[in-house]
Structure 1
Amino acid sequence: MVRKLSITAILFLLIATGCAQNGSKNDVINDVQNNNFITVNQRNDNSNNPLTGEQAAMHLVDLANRIPDVKDATAVVAGNYAVVGIDVDKNLDRSRVGVVKYSVAEALKDDPYGANAVVVADPDIVERLREMRRDIQDGRPIAGVMNELSAIVGRLMPQIPYDINTDESPNEQNEKQLPKGEKQQLNNIQKEQSKQQ
């Protein structure tokens, strides 16, 4: 009895499954006959064709020039890093120049070529970047340009965030610099202060 019931249930499931598939086949046939096609928009994001340094620099210049108050821009790209120089009106006050620089940095941060860019607005550095760009276009060896670029960035950003050692607390770093007698004295003072709280 149980066996007959099991066989009947299995046959019922097979028939029900077969009918369900048949209905979906008819739906596909009806869609094709009624021309219900799905249009797919494809775009080429050039992820397989990375830009050259010169093309990336032009791309960053274009992005920077779209920001209000940027009169002109220049960029030098070296590998994954870039320095973008912007010209602003000389009559803008410093706080407004800072806002413009921040706006340019915001425009570049989501761009794969501008994510690691340094934005500068100092007229002397911007002019030097233009000269470096001309040197690159004239075929000057990239090693000299890289040295000069690293010197500029080193003056602008003396401490790079990812170089900071966060393994030790500032107190531990300072205590290592103290002579032993002063270190013990500091520990005693800290213990006394913690008892008072």
Structure 2
Amino acid sequence: MVKNETVTVDTEGTRPSRTWNSRELLIIGAFGALGAVVTATASPATAAVALVSPVAYALVAGIHFVLPFTAGIMLQSWRAIPLTALFTAALAFPFSTLGLLLFPALGLPTLAAGLAVKMTGCRWQSPARWAIVAAVGAVVIFAISLVAIRPDLFSTALLVSVLAARLVSTGLAVVIAHLIVASLARAGVRVRR
């Protein structure tokens, strides 16, 4: 008698079945916890910068995407990107000036970036694909940040400047994340497949 087996299709495109193992969840938790410390520590400074200049804030706010991107690259999982960001938000929201708004502020752009990774074929070492991923995340956080800009400040120049700053900061977050993963690999920290 032949036993019927069902094989689920992996959304990553690399494995017959995708479940999280405890090591991967611990890595996501570690990067999320570190992200929460960074977010809580940087919150007073970033809030002060936001009051002075929306463009300057857009430049420094990319720091919040470094660790979710790092987790995604290290685990080679698009889902690790938003999961790490949501874990960061869950730990940091009581200490952040954004409060509960930290969930959409971190979750939506990282979900969009993660989906961009998935839609571009999960090519983890392709700079062109990561440029697309960074651009998608930047556009989403730009759209979210429009709510926070005072209406009397709205101008075409300001909006273009904020979008450019978001693109630069998110692009730098991707570059830094790749550098962190490369440094960890050189130090012997690797995720076994």
- TM-score w.r.t. length of structure 1: 0.25
Indicate the structure (1 or 2) with the bigger Cα radius of gyration: 1
- TM-score w.r.t. length of structure 2: 0.25
Q: Which has the higher helix share?
A: 2
Q: Which one has more relative contact order, counting CA pairs under 8 Å at least 6 apart?
A: 2
Q: Which has the higher strand share?
A: 1
